[in-house]
Every structure is written in C-alpha cells, then in structure tokens.
Amino acid sequence: MRWAIESGLIRVSLAPVLKTVELSTEVNLPYAEQGDPFGVPVVFLHGFLDSWHSFERVLPHLPESICAFAITQRGHGDASRPASGYSIADFSADLAAFMDALDLATAVIIGHSMGSAVAQRFAIDKPERTTGLVLIGASSTAAGTPAARRFWDTTVSKLTDPVDPALVRQMIESTLTQPMPQEFLDTAVREGLKVPAFVWRAAFESRWRPESDFSAELSKIKTPTLIVWGDQDARYPRSEQEALVRAIAGARLVTYPGAGHLLHWEEPERFSADLVTFIENLP
C-alpha cells in the first residue's frame, strides 16, 4: 500500500496485487490487479515474449478510479504452456474467459504489439464487452510480414531450448530508443526467457494462417479507439497506424516523437495520462 499527501489530505493508493486465475479455456494465467474494485475495468495485454511486467511502469501512474488488470498470456511468463493454441483467436478466447472468471461484463481493452492484435480480434468478436480500445505499437493485421518470414526462416524455425539469452535481449533492445532502468530491462529478459522454443514456433506459424489477416474485418470495430505510436517504431511503420485509422471509424492516432515500439516503457507517465484522458471521455 502506498501513501501520498495531496492538498493536505492523505491518499491511499493500492500497489498491484499478483494473482492467478484458472480459466474455462484450461489455462492458468497470472495477473496483476490494482485500483478500486468498483472502478472502470481496464485489461492490459502484453506483446510477444513479455508478461504483465510490460505494464509495471504504467500502473503507478494510474488513478484508483481505474481497476487495472495486467494479464500474463498463455505460453508467457509463469502462465500455462499448453502444447497448442497460440493463434490470436486462442489468446482472444482466453481474454473472454478471463473476464468471465472475474465477472467483468465489459472492459477497456489495451494491447501492445501482439496484444494489440488480440485486442482487435476481441473488439471484432465481442463488441458488447469492449467499452474502449487502446492499441500500442499496433499493426492492421497479425499476418506475417516479409520480415517475420525471414526471421522465421533464419531463426525461429531452428530454435531449440534453452533459448539464447542474447537473442531475447537483442529482440527487446532493438525495439527501444530511450534508456531503460537496468533492473527493469533485466526483468524483461528473464520473462522473455520463460517462453519455450515451441511457443515461439507456434506463435509464428499461426501468423501464416488465413484467419490471421483480419484487416478486412476492422470496420466492424465501433468502440472508441485510441492508437498510440512511437515515431521511431522499428516494428510497425506509420502506414500501419494510418491503415488502422482509416479502417476503424472514429479512431484517433497519437504519435510520440522519439519513442520506439515499447513506448509505454519509455514514456509511462505520458502514456498513462493519455490513457486516463481517453477513459474519462468515453461515452
């Protein structure tokens, strides 16, 4: 529990509580929960090789009025690692099961990178449960790009356990443009190393399936949508953000100059402020 003095008053702020939930999709997912249980439900979805820790730098800047849930998705961190089920649709089904398990009828869904694809799939399939959508470092489709194909051919298809720590660190650091606290970066690498080689292969292989290209379905998303992008994102260019804006009615793009693919790590205070403003203005 954190204490802070504001305007002569003592404010109590709850630190994240780490929990685990068993889902109807037959996986156990760890998650961090923070905020007023009766506040606005907000679910955070991390990217590939990440975990709930991806939003560890964001959570301290959120008001208690937001009931935040940062999930570790299947195959990642300390979550279950089933032998199969690593398509975007599988991750989306876990999100629905997570909300069912916690009695969340609706929520604001926030996704980064792979998590943004899961968020889009969920918003398409479950519009009645999505009160708002925030996409960070996103793409208009989960289908594999030529760069992803090359990475599959040269690296992922040949990957074996234990995964080389240098590979995980290089993948993380290549998406950063601003300095990170060493302790946080080391945690990210440790979390990435928990992902076994077969999950890497399964997640990449799923991208070549026809259902991974949901770009033609994006117009079905009617919920208020905020797209947040760092202009130094080496993974997804501005053209992808503009494609999302064109496809999703009313979507708004906010650009962070000098930030990379992991902009919520690099500028957590600004991202948190933009998120709070977005939530406060939801209908």
CATH code of the domain covering residue 86: 3.40.50.1820
Q: Are 256 and 46 in contact (CB under 8 A)?
A: no
Q: How confident is the model at residue 131 (pLDDT cuts 50, 70, 90)?
A: very high
pLDDT, residue 148, reads: 85
Task: Give the per-residue pLDDT at 137.
Answer: 97
- Give the chain as a 3 state SS string: CEEEEECCEEEEECCCEEEEEECCCCCEEEEEEECCCCCEEEEEECCCCCCHHHHCCCHHHCCCCEEEEEECCCCCCCCCCCCCCCCHHHHHHHHHHHHHHCCCCCEEEEEECHHHHHHHHHHHHCHHHEEEEEEECCCCCCCCCHHHHHHHHHCHHHCCCCCCHHHHHHHHHCCCCCCCCHHHHHHHHHHHCCCCHHHHHHHHHHHHCHHHCCHHHHHHCCCCEEEEEECCCCCCCHHHHHHHHHHCCCCEEEEECCCCCCHHHHCHHHHHHHHHHHHHCCC
**Distance between CA atoms of 180 and 270, rounded to whole angstroms?**
16
> Could you report the per-residue pLDDT of 2-43, keeping only the tens digit for each?
333 333 433 444 689 999 999 999 999 999 999 999 999 999
Which one, of 253, 265, 120, 243, lies nearest residue 181 by Cα? 265
In terms of residue numbers, what domain contains 92? 2-280
Report the distance separating Cα 183 and Cα 187, nearest Å: 6
Q: What are the tens digits of pLDDT across the range 97-110?
A: 999 999 999 999 99
Question: In this predicted model, what pLDDT tens digit does every residue of 226-259 receive, in sequence order?
Answer: 999 999 999 999 999 999 999 999 999 999 999 9
pLDDT of residue 7: 36
Residue 280 is predicted with a pLDDT of 97
Position 65 pLDDT exceeds 80: yes
Instruction: Supply the pLDDT for residue 14.
Output: 65
Q: Note the pTM of the prediction, 2 decimals.
A: 0.94
Mean pLDDT over 66-70 rounds to: 98
Question: For the chain, what is the domain count?
Answer: 1
Please state, in angstroms and rounded to a whole number, the distance separating the CA atoms of residues 230 and 242.
13
* CB atoms closer than 10 angstroms to residue 127: 14
- Quote the pLDDT of residue 205: 92
| pLDDT score of 208 | 85
Q: Residues 156-215: pLDDT tens digits?
A: 999 999 999 999 999 999 999 999 999 999 999 999 999 999 999 999 999 888 888 999
